[in-house]
Amino acid sequence: MTPPDLDRKSALFLDLDGTLLEIAATPELVVVPPALPGLLAHLHQQLDGAVAIVSGRPLHQIDNLLAPFHPAAAGEHGVSLRFCDGTLQELPVGIAIPDDWRDTLTRGIEAWPGVRIENKPHGLAVHYRLAPEREAEVWELVRSVVPADHPWFRLIPAREAVELGLRAASKGDAVERLMAHAPFHGRRPIFIGDDFTDEAGMSMARRFGGMGLRVAEAFGGDPANVRAWLTHGTQHLDSQPPPQAASPGAPA
């Protein structure tokens, strides 16, 4: 699918790792191109703030990586949601990964060099990017810890990682909640993502009359192409007349 031109009624929902940023060997090693925060801020201004980052990372990591850009954002796949006016919603409050799960997983990966646990405020991820041969064992371990029918937590497949996250949260839910409010309400959402959890965000964008774009299909699997499309988008928007001046007969 070819990515469309942006227009002034677009809203952008952007995943971070694998979409705006190249995947790194570990989440800490990710490199933010120096021009990216400014590019996103430019789009944010052109779209009246309708640019949201929707990531599996906690909000504070999103903010640190993209500083000083501080947009509406969903962290941990929608568990933490920040609206454009800065209002923060955490959902649901007070549910934490049981300590014995963390202990069992920590002991379970001890003998597997390259496998590591990333703790998050409301969940955790087990990464095996540096030891891909452990994939089956990692999945066996996490499945032994988290029952498939657990009421609060679910396993979320990620790129060379598996996450334990809150069942109640999803990127689709995050898009729906953001779309209910300004400046997103009434706009045409475009969701771009590269991973399993992004599919829910893409589906929700389509339900709002918008589009879901997979990085692999629409951008050749390369975050640099996503950034280039966004850069093209800012130039295209700059060339468009402001909406109020677009009526026939309006002075040029």
18 versus 210: smaller Cβ distance to Mg ion: 18
- Of 53 and 84, which has the nearer Cβ to Mg ion? 53
Binding to Mg ion by residue 15, rule CB under 5 A? yes
Chain mean position to CA 127 = 18
**Per CB under 5 A, does 210 bind Mg ion?**
no
Q: Which of residues 110-149 bind Mg ion (CB under 5 A)?
A: none
Vertex 35 angle, CA 29 and 41, to 5°: 110
User: What is the set of active-site residues?
Assistant: 15
Dist CA 201 CA 174 (whole Å): 8
Closer CB to Mg ion, 159 or 185, in the complex: 159
Sequence-distant (6+) residues with CB within 8 A of 177 are 78, 81, 89
- Pairing mode of beta strands 51-54, 72-75: parallel
Q: Which of 63, 76, 176, 195 is in the footprint of Mg ion by CB under 5 A?
A: 195
Kindly state the smallest distance separating residue 159's Cβ from Mg ion, in Å. Answer: 7
Name which of 18 and 78 has its Cβ closer to Mg ion. 18
Q: Are 210 and 190 in contact (CB under 8 A)?
A: yes
**Taking the complex as a whole, how short is the minimal distance between the CB of residue 221 and Mg ion, in angstroms?**
12
Part of the chain binding Mg ion (CB under 5 A), chosen from 11-19, 163-171, 206-214, 229-237: 11-19
Out of 11, 14, 18, 79, point to the residue binding Mg ion (CB under 5 A): 18
Closest CA to 180 of 84, 88, 54, 244: 84
Ramachandran region, residue 78 (left: φ > 0; alpha: ψ -120 to 50; beta: rest)? left
Among 6, 10, 17, 58, binds Mg ion (CB under 5 A): 17
CA dihedral 153, 163, 72, 216 (to 10 degrees): -130
**Amino acid letter, residue 191:** F
Using rule CB under 5 A, residue 63 touches Mg ion: no
Which one of 79, 183, 194, 230 is in contact with Mg ion (CB under 5 A)?
194
- Between 76 and 194, name the residue whose CB sits nearer to Mg ion: 194
| Residues forming the site for Mg ion (CB under 5 A) | 15, 17-18, 194-195
